[in-house]
Amino acid sequence: MVKAVRGMRDILPDQARRWDLVEDQLTAILRGHAYEMIRLPLLEFTELFARGVGEATDIVEKEMYTLSDRDGDSLALRPEGTASSVRMLQEHGLLYNQTQRVSYAGPMFRYEKPQKGRYRQFYQLGAEAYGLAGPDIDAELIALGWACWQALGIESMVQLEINTLGSGDARQRYRAALVDYLSPLLDQLDEDSRRRLSSNPMRILDSKNPATQQLLEKAPKLPDFVDADSTAHFEGLKTLLTERQIPFLENPNLVRGLDYYTHTVFEWITHDLGSQGAICAGGRYDGLVEKLGGRATPGVGFAIGLDRVVLLHELAHPEAASTAVDVYVCVAEPQLQGAALNTTQRLRAELPGIRIRLHMGGGNFKKQLKKADASGARVAVLVDADSVAGDMLTIKHLRDAELGQETLAASDGLARLQKSLA
């Protein structure tokens, strides 16, 4: 038997129902904030991510899935969405002297060690804004994330951490100072940190190794290198978050793993998923458009890790999305199957958003009602000769014994179903 590729998991129907619920709520929040959905291709030229994400990052060095096509071009399955978003908007002339607010959703691919909450094919939902340089748009995006957690009922399970990296020049000065401090201590660093020292030294601040963290206690501090303009921007952001009553924690070691970040960076983390604590991350990338060949354009955004958010939602609401059916239509006799199909279509037209299943495969009402009950449906509609002839609806309430079964005129029956299923 051929099995799924390691790290590429199957999402089964009972899991997919929760995914749909979570995604529907999140995309509704994005639409409500007027972030327009774009659809990104799965394949891009490898150069896009090498230039955009950074050749010295773990993503480009170790984690990308790359291939050569028949023309000899090097292509990559997208490992993240921001570089693709910039490429798309720039290619179609939607950035220069314009503002854009966009969102995207879909699978990303990284060759990582699979574990719960981390997969080689994982799903992100992102929101990004271009052409706006002030802290107000940073605050809007963070508030957008907060609105997402409130809509899902998980706001008590997450914590916002924020930091500023300063300008590109400030970041480079700090990088040089950090390398100068850590180079004489090379033998005391963990293996990952030794490798990063020459390629991406600021990622060492993220190390989970206790010995490395102890060494960093006396290291130069990033806030000491941040320029005045970046500090003012960050103070403005904190003021706006305080006014919005969005709680936050300043984390001076928060640097993010992608080279394109400058100024504001932030993460939403949870302590309810073990080691996979980051459920959403983002920040500013004001130099990315230039790096990819465009004109100077400020940008800021975030990506939600849907795999982890779905896990968190399941912890918070274990009973949500537990059934696939709201109404189960039963058929008294085989010759009434066509009439039952018409009844089902009428119900779907009159009750949009209600999940309605028509019984197939025969069997008497008793057997059909057992299947209706097993489906999790709240009500069954019984189609027999009398109900068809009299334009009636016979409704059996499967979860409310007091209501029992009732036969009503079709219009009254529809009103009853709307009330029962509200």
What's the pLDDT score for residue 257? Answer: 65
Residue 300: both structure tokens together = 């800021």
Nearest alpha carbon to residue 152 among 377, 352, 306:
306
Structure tokens at 36: 């327009």
Instruction: From 316, 340, 357, give the residue that closes a domain.
Output: 316
Residues 27-51 have pLDDT tens digits of 999 999 999 999 999 999 999 999 9
Residues 379 and 310 in one domain: no
Residue 414 lies inside a defined structural domain of this protein: yes
Q: Domain for residue 173, yes or no?
A: no
Amino acid at the residue 243: E
Instruction: Calculate the alpha carbon distances from 359 to 14, 126, 327 in Å.
Output: 20, 40, 10
Instruction: With a cut of 80, say whether residue 321 has pLDDT above it.
Output: no
Strand order from edge to edge, sheet including 356-358: 356-358, 327-331, 379-383, 392-397, 405-409
Same domain flag for 253 and 393: no
Q: Residue 310 is part of which domain span?
A: 13-167+227-316
In a domain, 184, yes or no: no
Measuring CA to CA, how many Å separate 291 from each of 122, 138, 296? 26, 21, 9
Least confident of 112-126, 191-205, 219-233, 358-372: 191-205
Q: Are residues 299 and 336 in the same domain?
A: no
Q: Where are the beta strands (DSSP E) in 132-253?
A: 159-164, 249-250
pLDDT given at position 63: 92
Q: What is the pLDDT of residue 56?
A: 67
Q: Are residues 138 and 239 in the same domain?
A: yes
- For residues 258 and 384, membership in a common domain is answered with no
Q: Who's near 196: CB < 8 A, 6+ residues apart?
A: 203, 204
Structure tokens that stand for 217 in this block: 């206690």
Q: What angle do CA 209, 226, 256 make, to 5 degrees?
A: 40
Per-residue pLDDT, 383: 96
Residue 188 belongs to a domain: no
- The answer on pLDDT for 275 being more than 80 is no
Q: Are residues 379 and 245 in the same domain?
A: no
Mean pLDDT within 385-395: 93
Mean pLDDT of 282-289: 94
* Percent of the chain residues topping a pLDDT of 70: 99
Q: Give the model's pLDDT for residue 93.
A: 96
Q: Report the distance separating Cα 86 and Cα 124, nearest Å.
A: 16
Q: Has residue 220 been placed in a domain? A: no
Rounded to whole angstroms, how far apart are CA atoms 278 and 291?
27
Mean pLDDT of 144-151: 98
Note the pLDDT tens digit of each residue in 323-356. 889 999 999 999 999 999 999 999 999 999 899 9
Angle ∠(100,171,101) on CA atoms, nearest 5: 10
- Which of 323, 318, 376, 379 has its CA nearest to residue 347? 379
CATH number of the domain within which 361 lies: 3.40.50.800
Helix/strand/coil percentages in the chain, nearest 5 = 45, 20, 35
Contact 22, 309 (CB under 8 A): yes
* Residue at 260 is within a domain: yes
Report yes or no: 325 and 377 within 8 Å, Cβ to Cβ: yes
Which residues does 16 contact at the CB level (< 8 Å), separation at least 6? none
Tell whether 148 is covered by a domain: yes
Instruction: Out of 286, 316, 346, pick the residue that ends a domain.
Output: 316
The model's pLDDT over 194-251, given as tens digits with 9 standing for 90+, comes to 888 877 788 788 777 888 888 888 888 888 889 999 999 999 999 999 999 999 999 9
User: What's the number of domains the chain is made of?
Assistant: 2
Q: Say if residue 308 is in the same domain as residue 332.
A: no
The whole-chain average pLDDT of the chain stands at 92
Q: Are residues 267 and 383 in the same domain?
A: no
Q: Is residue 303 domain-shared with residue 353, that is, in the same domain?
A: no
- Residue 254: the pLDDT is 87
Same domain, residue pair 247 and 383? no
- The CATH code of the domain that includes 257 is 3.30.930.10
Give the residues across from 337 on adjacent strands.
Answer: none
- Domain contains 239: yes
Asked whether residue 343 falls in the same domain as residue 408, the answer is yes
CB neighbour burial string for 96-121, b if at least 16 within 10 angstroms, e if fewer: eeeebbbbbbbebbbbbeeeebbbbb
Q: Which helix (H) or strand (E) holds 194?
A: helix 191-199
Which of 283, 316, 349 lies at the terminal end of a domain, its last residue?
316
